[in-house]
Amino acid sequence: MNLEKIIKSNKYIYSHKSEDEEENILLHLDRTKCVFFQIDSKYKILNKLRKTYGNLKFKLNELDFYLSEEAINLIENMFLYSVYLHDIGKINPKYQSEKMKNNFEFLSEEEKSTLCLNKIVSTNHSYLSSIVYIDLMQEKIDESKNISTKEKIVLYYLMLVNANIISRHHSNQSNLEYYFAKLEREINNAKMANYLYFYNKKLNINYEKISKAFINIKKIKFDETSVYIWNKILNSLLISCDFIATHSFYSKKSISEFKINCIEGKENIKDIFYKNPIYKGIESYKLNNRYFEENNLPKINELRSDILIESNNNLDKNNNERIFNIESPTGSGKTINSLSCALKLIKDGSKLFYVFPVNTLAEQTEDVLNGIFKGKLNTQIINSISPLPIKSTDKKIDYNKVLLDRQILNYESILTSNITLFNLFFGCGREQSMGLFSLFDSVIILDEIQNYKNLIWKEIVEFLYKFSEIMDFKLIIMSATLPNLEELMDFEDKKFINLIENPKIYYNNKLFKDRVSIENKLLNETVDFKKLLDLIKEEVNIWNKEKKEYAKFLIEFITKKTAQEFYMYVSKKLNNYTVFELDGDDNKIKKQSIINHLKKDSKELKSNILLITTQVIEAGVDIDMDLGAKDTSFPDLDEQFIGRINRSCLKEGCKAFLFNLDMANIVYKNDYRLVMNIDKNKDNYLKCLSNKDFSCLYDKVFNKINLTKGNWLCSEIDVFYKDLKMIRNKDISKHMKLIDINSFEIFIPTIIDGVDGEEVWSEYVELVSNIDMEYAERKVKMINLKEKLEMFTFSIKSNKSNKLNAFGGFYYIKNGNKFIANDKFDSSRFKKEYMCLLNAQ
């Protein structure tokens, strides 16, 4: 395609403008195309696209058909041209005049008045780019003589999908139907001649053909999930290529200088890992099964080694598969095991992703990786509060590059959250899904997948499999309470490979099974705070006398309110105790301070420790307590809690007491695990927990999911597949949202660990208000300030709008110190005082 001929007077049309230079539009489009080919050369994206559409089966009037080679060639070209033509709409004279300050000296004053000064003509270029794209692509489709009518329906549909992406590349993704509804009006817009003055072609879009194809595509059956995924991939690539090409212009650097970071020397990384003392110990154990015994090392190391060895062996037998499960007890070394497996799967050009339910686990794992690789593996935490890497030695910081690296996940190894991963898959925000292409050929480790919203487990399983198939990434799923999610799907062959063939062998080993005695005597009683306090005193006293050391006692409630109330109740009633309360309101610094205190050896303690907490402590947090008590919720969550007790398996006499205080069916009202509520299924509940066999729980959950998904004439899952087919991005994003709770952030300017909240707020206000600062610099500084902001920020759950005055996404609460008691935020008091404002409609 010769754009020099298509764009009239192209040497006078600009795409970007710096202080001393204009970037010609053809140069920007060429740069964008070059970036795409640079990425494609690494990940073979076009080959993967061809593979998907070559294998995709379509059905019309009960007859199957596949796309011809010529049709697939067109799909590949349309995909590539979506990136190449994304900014061709900048030929809009009004855009050139207002955004590029283009004087068009070769135009007459009358032409300038009509084209550039007309107030009713907009500067929009993205939608105009999509119009030109359709005009050029429809021509190519119609020119193809050997393509059948039904294939053309598919091609027209995919052309619209791509055009919708182009039209929104400077905004959030929207639904395809919204784009289609606007299309006829825009094609016939009386101002279109003005917009396309520099388009050296007559606009010849046949809307009637497009409309007919858009209707007929609904009659054709095909795998909607695959088309949706390529829609997300193209969106990621288009925006990323555009950003990288733009950075090239502003930084005055060649496209070839921009490096897509990934693991290049996999053998070097492996060599470092294999020289690690833990792995060397496992290798010694393989040669001599008495190695740990002879070196006076804990017997638990034998079990951990057996688990890793079995995982590695089964991986070697199935390394052509894509998805692997590691189900093993808490404290069995899943981090090292998963890393060992990941290094077997990793290729040169891969990235390594660790995905966690909570930020604390990312920080824990970062410490592990840094301890092993000593900085030889470029690792970055990506979440809402972790700062971006800026070298203190940098004289001139390229903030655009720092921000761009974060947006496209341009690191060798990424530690992030479930929310970030699902935003990559399903987010509509431009920057939410930019980095999706970085998942190509990568290895992703998912931790505690059972914590994902089980209302959408069926959809999650299908998407994980399809994304891994299309993007050719490997997936390692690990948990101590891992549901066999594959049972939700009708796969002909087994797709999820269990690296531990019989987890019960390890769960039933006395080192794991008997390390904590599960006590249920409180389940037969009405429990109140006094009874719980008496239990704590009694059990800690027994521990002190028998062990001659201080005890660490963990008690978990299922609501933050109850945890905070119990903390207030016991604070003045316990002597010779250090009492902590940890919940979702606590900032990273306090959380880490408490965890560090808990990690002290019992002999170092100067008093007994009582930690009062909520679910924030369940999922993999690395603490090792002696005794515990928990308000029951579900067997798998209770097991995660028990995993925080005697984690090292080195102690005897460790106990976990279960009690029933708050109503789980209110706290977890939409959770399908309520099918095994302790109030109704006490015996099965306790049997499931004591036997460490959670299949009885998950079987009931799977039945509930299948009943719910197909219970109506037009079932929920059918509606979802229609959303996929019609590329209803907003609806899909909403459906796949992991957390449904709505909340807003308040800022209370106290003083914490010598950091003055007022000063932090002033710095934030100055950043937000500084309109002279470049966008990238402000954005990077904002991200790097988040860690401090988070110290003074509290989340308030509310499904209603409110009349509080917001600034930059936060509600500043003047004199908010009154809501802080004993270093804790009193959310109940805050809600009472601000109730009239919080309940505003």
Q: What is the 3-state secondary structure (H, E, C) of 777-793?
A: HHHHHHHHHHHHHHHHE
CA distance readout (Å), 247 to 12, 18, 414: 21, 11, 23
Tell me whether residue 642 is in a domain.
yes
Tell me whether residue 446 is in a domain.
yes
Q: What is the 3-state secondary structure (H, E, C) of 281-337?
A: HHHHHHHCCCHHHHCCCCCHHHHHHHHHHHHHHHHHHCCCCCEEEEECCCCCCHHHH
Assess whether 247 and 323 both reside in one domain.
no
Look up residue 385 and give its two tokens. 């509060």
Look up residue 158 and give its two tokens. 């995919």
Tell me whether residue 790 is in a domain.
yes
What does the mean pLDDT of the chain come to?
91
Q: What's the mean pLDDT in 406-412?
A: 96
Assess whether 428 and 515 both reside in one domain.
no
Assess whether 299 and 443 both reside in one domain.
yes
Tell me whether residue 700 is in a domain.
no
Which of 223, 257, 291 terminates a domain? The answer is 257
Which range among 391-405, 430-444, 775-789 shows the weakest confidence by mean pLDDT? 391-405
Q: Which residues of 219-251 are buried (b: 16+ CB within 10 A; e: fewer)?
A: ebebbbbbbbbbbbbbbbbbbbbbbbbbbbbbe
Whether the CB-CB separation of 776 and 400 falls below 8 Å is answered with yes
pLDDT for position 809: 80
Tell me whether residue 316 is in a domain.
yes
Report which of residues 706 and 578 the model is more confident about. Answer: 578
pLDDT for position 706: 85
Assess whether 404 and 466 both reside in one domain.
yes
Highest mean pLDDT among 568-577, 598-607, 656-665: 656-665
Q: Residue 800, class by beta-carbon neighbours within 10 Å (0-12 exposed, 13-18 middle, 19+ buried)?
A: exposed
Cα-based angle 615, 619, 621 (whole degrees, multiple of 5)? 100
CA distance readout (Å), 807 to 197, 327, 746, 766: 43, 46, 10, 12
pLDDT per residue over 758-797, tens digit each? 999 999 999 999 989 999 999 999 999 998 998 888 888 7
pLDDT for position 840: 47
Which range among 21-25, 66-70, 329-333, 393-397 shows the weakest confidence by mean pLDDT? 393-397
Confidence of residue 712 (pLDDT cuts 50, 70, 90): low
Q: Residue 80, class by beta-carbon neighbours within 10 Å (0-12 exposed, 13-18 middle, 19+ buried)?
A: buried
Report which of residues 829 and 47 the model is more confident about. Answer: 47
Assess whether 193 and 333 both reside in one domain.
no
pLDDT at 287 over 80: yes
Report which of residues 826 and 302 the model is more confident about. Answer: 302
CA-CA-CA-CA dihedral for 461, 464, 465, 468, to nearest 10 = -170
Tokens 């509060």 correspond to 385
Instruction: Identify each DSSP E strand in 42-158 by its residue range.
Output: 58-60, 63-65
Paired strand residues for 417: 356
Whether the CB-CB separation of 379 and 416 falls below 8 Å is answered with no
Tell me whether residue 625 is in a domain.
yes
The count of structural domains within the chain is 4
Gap between the Cα atoms of 57 and 528, Å rounded? 61
Percent of the chain having pLDDT more than 70?
97
Whether the CB-CB separation of 474 and 237 falls below 8 Å is answered with no
pLDDT per residue over 484-532, tens digit each? 888 888 777 778 999 999 999 999 998 888 899 999 999 999 999 999 9
Confidence of residue 601 (pLDDT cuts 50, 70, 90): confident
pLDDT for position 687: 92
SS3 143: helix
pLDDT for position 59: 96
Assess whether 47 and 129 both reside in one domain.
yes
CATH of the domain at 404: 3.40.50.300
pLDDT per residue over 211-243, tens digit each? 999 999 999 999 999 999 999 999 999 999 999
pLDDT at 841 over 50: no
Whether the CB-CB separation of 587 and 760 falls below 8 Å is answered with no
Gap between the Cα atoms of 423 and 651, Å rounded? 42
Q: What's the mean pLDDT in 331-351?
A: 93
Rg for the chain, CA atoms, rounded: 30
Q: What's the mean pLDDT in 104-123?
A: 82
Assess whether 545 and 639 both reside in one domain.
yes
pLDDT at 111 over 90: no
pLDDT at 839 over 60: no
pLDDT for position 803: 58
Confidence of residue 620 (pLDDT cuts 50, 70, 90): low
Assess whether 240 and 270 both reside in one domain.
no
Tell me whether residue 5 is in a domain.
no
pLDDT at 274 over 90: yes
Phi then psi for residue 16, to 5 deg, are -140, 165
Assess whether 660 and 547 both reside in one domain.
yes
DSSP state at residue 387: P
Assess whether 215 and 345 both reside in one domain.
no
Report pTM: 0.94
Confidence of residue 246 (pLDDT cuts 50, 70, 90): very high
Assess whether 807 and 789 both reside in one domain.
yes
Cβ neighbors of 525 (< 8 A, separation 6 or more) are 531
Q: Which domain holds residue 414?
A: 266-497
pLDDT for position 610: 96
pLDDT at 193 over 80: yes
Which of 437, 466, 497 terminates a domain? The answer is 497
Tell me whether residue 502 is in a domain.
no
Q: What's the mean pLDDT in 546-571?
A: 94
Whether the CB-CB separation of 225 and 466 falls below 8 Å is answered with yes
Confidence of residue 838 (pLDDT cuts 50, 70, 90): low
Which of 257, 275, 308 terminates a domain? The answer is 257
pLDDT for position 577: 93
For strand 793-797 and strand 743-747, is the pairing parallel, antiparallel, or unpaired? antiparallel
pLDDT per residue over 737-759, tens digit each? 988 777 788 899 988 888 899 99
Assess whether 274 and 231 both reside in one domain.
no
pLDDT for position 804: 63
Gap between the Cα atoms of 829 and 403, Å rounded? 39
pLDDT for position 1: 82
Phi then psi for residue 381, to 5 deg, are -80, 130
pLDDT at 66 over 60: yes
Quick one: which of 36, 37, 45 has its CA closest to 470?
Answer: 45
